[in-house]
Structure 1
Amino acid sequence: MSFSCTNHLPLDSSAPLLCAGITVYYPLRFYGLDKPGMHVGVVGLGYLGHVAMKFAKAMGVKVTVISTSPSKKKEAMEHLGADSFLVSKEQDQM
């Protein structure tokens, strides 16, 4: 049996938001980086980076993903909606 906090959001699917979610949500709010039109950089596109991207985009913030892996560009731009993508190993991009 699956318990849920709503009829549409099972706890086993939403539980990760409690840790990773607050880890990235709180700094966005605390430092005032949650206003539409602002621009933030997300370093790395691992688990926290994914969550940070989703929160920032939901807040209307422009997001640049900074990664060492060029292969993550498509995911960042097409699937998560990043506004720009930089490869940190590329001197001309930094």
Structure 2
Amino acid sequence: MIWVAIQTTKSKKLNLDVVWLDVANEYGSVPHEMIHLALRIYHVPEDIQMMLDDFFSGFRMSFSAGDYTTNWINQEVGIATRCTISPILLVMAWKSY
């Protein structure tokens, strides 16, 4: 796919911008506080910030092994994948860091 884009661009003498990312669990490594900061830096409306805060504050998990199950633990790091806004939040967090 990228090869076709390069060849087409070259043959038509166009410009092509390519970004190569070494993404190692990037979505899972973004602190929620960084997301909140990015939303403020980019002047996202307050009601949207509150909605996203509610969304992220609901991330909880627990672990089970045999008969033992931990209490619920609040997640303070990570962006949910498969959500439309996830890539936008990731880039905003990167840019605001």
Shorter-chain-normalised TM-score: which range?
A: under 0.3
TM-score by length of 1: 0.23
TM-score by length of 2: 0.22
Is the radius of gyration larger for structure 1 or structure 2? 2
Greater strand share, 1 or 2?
1
